[in-house]
Amino acid sequence: MPPQECHNGDKDGVKFKRRKGKVFSGEATLLSTELKRLQDEYANTSYNKATNKHLGILRAKIAKVKRSIEASGRHKVGAGFFVKKSGDATVALVGFPSAGKSSLINRLANTDSKTAGYAFTTTSLIPGMFTYKNARIQVFDLPGIIEGAHIGAGGGRTVLAAAKMADLITFVVDIADPAQLGIILDELKGLDIFVNRQRPDVSVQDSRNQGFLLEINESGLSKKVIETVFAGFNIYNSVVRIRQRIDEDELIALLGGKSCYVNAIVALNKVDTNDSYATIAAQLGKKYSIEVVPISAMTGRNIDLLAKRIYDNLHIMTVLLQPKGSAKSEPMVVKEGSTVLDVARRIHTRFAEEVRCAYIDGPSAKFRNQRVGTGHILLDGDTVSFR
Ligand SMILES: Nc1nc2c(ncn2[C@@H]2O[C@H](COP(=O)(O)OP(=O)(O)OP(=O)(O)O)[C@@H](O)[C@H]2O)c(=O)[nH]1
Ligand SMILES: [Mg+2]
């Protein structure tokens, strides 16, 4: 399964309601307080036989309150922002206030997003667009997020909801405070958004009243912990297979049905102010297992490199469509791993139903004008002709 699969909203249009102020009011504030209380209680309860059941109940309560916060947010009305997804792929800039997100979008995408030396200069979503190779890449400049964003601080939930719709997140981190990255990742995790991870392969089947059978467990968690988590969701009579490493939080999020997996890289900004940027970038990358590109949005340093790494991490490619009998070809940007059928579908669904083969040239062809079936996997730079 591809790691990027949070596009669970409207694919073309993304509508968000943005709340003003530090936390959103009324019911949601109560829910946030309740969530914090439950999380503290959970953290302070040590695991043993006597507390096993209680911990399971706490986990289920935490998942329930998280869902309620999500639902209450959806119905709130406030100053909103609306943007239409366009181009071949979308990248969201996420970072602390004043990290340099707006300065970066202005460099990358020739936009005119306001920049200033004070926090929360940007208050809504500012879209921009740049072209790399043949791809038109849309960029979202977003308001800064702060600690507590996942429970609504500074309107952070709206910002993170927008960010997870993108095909790639670029975290903009000020080199003066690299610890911002850890806080941002925690905020995303608080909303069950997991970065640069594959959706875990966990299967659950009815055990026909045979109790809880953990048939495969490659999670790294003990059977007891897993059983307790499942009990928290009232899952008892089941055959469970976990085929990869997963931590408790991720398992809970997965069972709660709300987990989301996003790809991300880091733009370590303001390197013009620090000569040790290479070391800091390497340390940050190692600590969080993430690609870090040192840049200066102010001087323009490494902006081209960042554009390239954004493109590479979007895992897209260009195929050239050549109409029958024509010498001219039209580029089309598609996902890496796309087949002839995927390309035909992009042209038209009706057309795709009728297509049986294509003639290809380029990296995936064994010879010129090779006739291939619709399942043929294309490579970057292939030419495709339908006849
Ligand atoms: N020295 C230096 N300053 C920078 C760089 N990038 C941005 N700045 C400065 O940092 C300040 C904040 O920049 P913005 O681009 O407004 O930051 P932002 O992340 O959009 O901030 P919010 O909209 O408040 O979240 C401004 O004074 C910029 O001039 C950089 O690469 N080097
Ligand atoms: Mg800004």
Instruction: State the Cα–Cα distance between residues 97 and 100, nearest whole angstrom.
Output: 8
With the most atoms of ligand 1 within 8 angstroms of its CB, the residue from 18, 115, 272, 302 to mutate is: 115
Report pLDDT for 81. Answer: 54
Cite the DSSP H helix spans in the chain. Answer: 26-44, 52-75, 101-109, 156-163, 180-190, 223-232, 248-255, 277-288, 303-314, 340-347, 349-354
Cβ of 298 below 6 Å from ligand 1: yes
Which tens digit of pLDDT belongs to each residue from 197-224?
A: 888 889 999 988 888 999 999 999 999 8
Long-range contacts of 311-314 (CB under 8 A, 24+ apart): 311/132, 311/133, 311/135, 311/137, 313/168, 313/263, 313/265, 314/89, 314/91, 314/135, 314/137, 314/167, 314/168, 314/263
Q: Does the beta carbon of 148 lie inside 6 Å of ligand 1? A: no
Contact in structure between 151 and 32 (CB atoms under 8 Å): yes
* pLDDT of res. 25: 46
Q: What is the Cβ-side half-sphere exposure of residue 360, based on CA atoms within 13 angstroms? A: 24
What pLDDT is recorded for position 73? Answer: 53
Amino acid present at 273: T
| pLDDT tens, position by position, 81-91 | 567 788 999 99
Task: Judge whether 259 and 199 are in contact, CB under 8 Å.
Answer: yes
pLDDT at position 20 over 70:
no
- The tens digit of pLDDT for each residue in 300-324 reads 999 999 999 999 999 999 999 998 7
264 lines ligand 1 (CB under 6 A): no
> Which three-class secondary structure state does DSSP give residue 138?
strand
Check residue 146 and give its pLDDT: 86
| Separation CA 303–CA 294 (nearest Å) | 9
d(CA 232, CA 255): 10
Give me the pLDDT at residue 192, please: 87
Which pTM was predicted? 0.78
Q: 99: CA distance to ligand 1 center in Å?
A: 5
* CA dist., res. 156 & res. 149, Å (int): 4
> What are the structural domains of the chain?
79-197+261-314 (3.40.50.300), 201-245 (no CATH), 316-385 (3.10.20.30)
More confident of the two residues 49 and 101: 101
Ligand nearest to the CA of 176: 1
Tell me how far the alpha carbon of residue 165 lies from the centroid of ligand 1, in angstroms.
24
Sheet-wide strand order for 212-217: 202-206, 238-242, 212-217
Cβ–ligand 1 contact at 99 (below 6 Å): yes
**Per-residue pLDDT tens over the stretch 121-164:** 888 899 999 999 989 999 999 999 988 888 777 778 888 888 88
Which ligand 1 atom is the nearest neighbour of the CA of 269?
31
Average pLDDT over residues 267-294: 97
pLDDT, the chain, mean: 85
Tell the residue nearest (CA) to atom 11 of ligand 1.
117
285 vs 236 pLDDT, higher one: 285
Which pLDDT tens digit goes with each residue over 216-264? 999 999 998 898 888 888 888 999 999 989 988 889 888 888 788 999 9
